[in-house]
Structure 1
Amino acid sequence: MLSFVFLVIGFALMIWGADKFVAGASALARKLGVSPLLIGLTIVAFGTSMPELAVSVTAALRGANEIAVGNVVGSNIFNLLMVAGLSAAVCPLVMDKTLLRRDWPLSILAAVLLLGAIAPDLTIARWEGVVLLIIFAFILTYQIRTALRNREQLAAAAAEAEAEEAEAPMSAAMIGVNILLGLACIVIGGQLAVNGATGIARMFGLSETLIGLTIVAMGTSLPELVTSIVAARKGQNDIAMGNVIGSNLFNIFLILGVSSVITPIPVQATSIVDCLFLIAISAVFYLPARKGKLGRVPGIAMVAMYAVYTVYLIMR
């Protein structure tokens, strides 16, 4: 009974928190005069990637970080197929040109680099982790510099949008409260939902391995899922897709970079298959997105493909 209560409270907290988080993030973009895409790629992506970071770094510190790659690759697959797919199914997503030209291809490159690191010796060495962190620092710096170059134009557009709004612009203090309180509710709600779902799964006699491959892996990506769907429903397409692609970049470059610097990461051979699958779906669904819109049909196809992948995980 307690597991069901945890599950309901967890989802309620995540939905309420995501609403506040998205509102605060979009207000922050207007206040700073930068693109909502940048906020989605950085602040929102980092915030919703906190569960993956916590799981991977904690495992690394305990010397058991062989789960880190599975957690990251599994989360990236979930982000792309379920988070982006469900968001598009709920409300077709208009694609930002910068995201299509720069950030989505970078996420494909990240998966290719990860495959190149693990395929030869089934290990991510410390020096490879350092390389991932250097690349991440370069990408983040480039994204911020590009956004700041366009700041004046975006600030003018934001001021015009605020002038058309019936409600007063959000104060700096309220922006901070919305972002921090929303993020806290998302993370706490996600943990409660995972605990509740795990308890229910055990009650029905599911194995620990199956629970780990499905519920726990999906659970660390629940913040991305709820945040992107709420953003899509609010018409904040840049935040919705920026969150997905940004989280995937954070997961590979930052989380695996930090984890492997702490201690080299041994990798299971099945991770190579998962990496190849991530590269394939990233490239395949980039094609319809390049037309400028990710519609309901591709979105439903992405969700269906994740269902097939989940069946594969259960059977292997």
Structure 2
Amino acid sequence: MLLNAVALLVVGLVFLVWSADRLVYGSAALARNFGISPLVIGMTILAMGSSAPEMMVSATAALEGKTDTAVGNVLGSNIANIALILGITALIKPLSISSAVIRRELPLMIAVTVISGIILWDNYLGFIEGLLLLGLFAIFILAMLRISRKEKQNGDVLIDEQEAEVPEGVSNYKAAFWVVVGLIVLPLSADMLVNNSVIIAQYFGMSDLVIGLTIIAVGTSLPELAASVAGVMKGEDDMAVGNIIGSNVFNILAVMGLPGILNPSMLSELAMGRDFWVMLGVSLLLVVMALGKSRRINRFEGGFLCIVFIAYQAYLIANMAA
């Protein structure tokens, strides 16, 4: 029973990531074919693509009455994005942090993180709070589009490269095929992932919150890991760091907003009392590293981030029922 659940969980995770990629590919190609500018596609469909697994898993968990798992997925993914993914990326190659990231993206991430704390303070995620988060998400997307247009006029290389990633020369039939495949496989794989996570959680006595913070959070963060490593290997440190910051903002505003609308619920007190503070702590740690003299995350700091993540996961596993 347990081995079957683990195998099906892995299969669900693989298809979740794959189907999210295919859905984004098809949607971006269709958008381009219908005359939407590559800049808009890059800042919306492609930018949200790496958070698609988290969005679908959180929606599925919320609809199945497991809002703790949905919120745990958001908190755990954001912790994993900084402590694990940036840690691993910095171990591969030290990450330089540009002044633009320090001036604009990092303060935004901290502000959104604080907003999530205010929302979770009463251990309840409600419908109005979900609407507020999704409203802020829409404002965020519009603001990013405006900023990106200005930066493109100034010849921003990263924006040009993001536009270059928008698929072209893809027929409408092929693009529509991948959209349909993604729309079918994505919810099915998310359901498989959540259901088998529950079986594993029950076997080991893990709470819904912990399963979201551990297995699901790490699994759904794999697209961010691939994108960050690819960015740093091409020497585009800003892309690697920006990918993580953008994903964390998306997770809080969009991924946490969905379960609030779909299934307003009381939450485990530990989501706010323990895990929010870990998320805020690693976020502030990233700011401290970025503001250092060298304005970079070196290998020692990357190793420290990884140790923080391992220690946190070990603590969760040692207290699985909480």
* TM-score, normalised via structure 2 length: 0.71
Secondary structure of the equivalent of 1:60?
helix
1:65 maps to which residue?
A: 67
Shift of 1:250: 0.8
In structure 1, the gaps of 5 or more residues are 162-167
Match of 2:231 in 1: 231
- 2:83 pairs with one of 66, 81, 84: 81
| Shift of residue 97, structure 1, vs aligned partner | 2.7
Deviation at 1:157, TM superposition (A): 9.4
- Name the % identity: 30
1:213 Cα deviation from its structure 2 partner: 4.7
Structure 2 Cα separation of the partners of residues 105 and 34 of structure 1 = 24
Q: Residue 51 and residue 141 in structure 1: after superposition, are their counterparts in 2 closer, same or farther (change >3 A)?
A: same
Q: Does residue 297 of structure 2 align to residue 301 of structure 1?
A: no
Q: 1:258-300, CA deviations, whole angstroms, 9 ceiling, x for partnerless residues?
A: 2212231321111111101111111122122135322222111
Taking a change above 3 Å as real, the CA distance of residues 269 and 233 of structure 1, as seen in their structure-2 partners, is same
Name structure 2 gaps, 5 residues minimum: none
- Residues 89 and 131 (structure 1 numbering): CA distance in 2 closer, same or farther, change over 3 Å? same
2:52 is the alignment partner of 1:50: yes
Distance 2:155 2:84 in 1: 31
The size of the alignment, in residue pairs, is: 284
Which amino acid is the alignment partner of residue 314 of structure 2? Answer: V
Q: Does 1:173 align with 2:169?
A: yes
Tell whether the 8 Å contact from 2:119 to 2:125 is kept in structure 1 after alignment: yes
Q: How does 1:82-231 map to 2 (within 5 A)?
A: 82-119=84-121, 121-154=122-155, 172-173=168-169, 213-231=213-231
Check whether the contact 1:33–1:152 (CA below 8 A) recurs between aligned residues: no
Contact 1:45-1:242 within 8 A present in 2 as well: no
Post-superposition offset of 1:314:
1.2
Q: Could you tell me which amino acid in structure 1 is paired with residue 280 of structure 2?
A: I
What one-letter code is carried by the residue in structure 2 that aligns with 1:239?
A: M
Per-residue CA deviations over 1:119-150 (Å, capped at 9, x if unaligned) read 2x210221112221222222221111011022
The residue that corresponds to 1:247 in the other structure is: 247
Deviation at 1:233, TM superposition (A): 1.4
Aligned partners of 1:110 and 1:137: how far apart in 2?
13
Q: CA RMSD in A?
A: 4.2
The TM-score with structure 1 as length reference comes to 0.73
Q: How far apart, in 1, do the equivalents of 2:286 and 2:260 lie?
A: 30
Residue matched to 1:292 = 295
Distance verdict in 2 for CA 1:7–1:133, change over 3 Å: closer
Cα separation, partners in 2 of 1:299 and 1:34, compared to 1, 3 Å: farther
State the shift of 1:94 in Å: 2.2
Q: Does the CA-based 8 Å contact 2:72-2:211 persist in structure 1?
A: no
CA shift, 1:252, in A, is 0.7
Task: Measure, in 1, the Cα distance between the counterparts of 2:111 and 2:127.
Answer: 20
Aligned-pair CA distance for 1:237: 2.2
What secondary structure, in the 3-state scheme, does the structure 1 residue paired with 2:65 have?
Answer: coil
Conserved? CA contact 1:44–1:243, under 8 Å:
no
Deviation at residue 305 of structure 1 after TM alignment:
0.6
Amino acid aligned to 1:142: A
Change (3 A) 1:5 1:102: same
Label 1:78 to 1:127 Cα distance change in 2 as closer, same or farther (>3 A): same
Q: Is the 8 A contact 2:69 2:211 kept in 1?
A: no
Structure 1 position 215, deviation (Å): 2.4
* Pair 1:265-2:261 in alignment: no
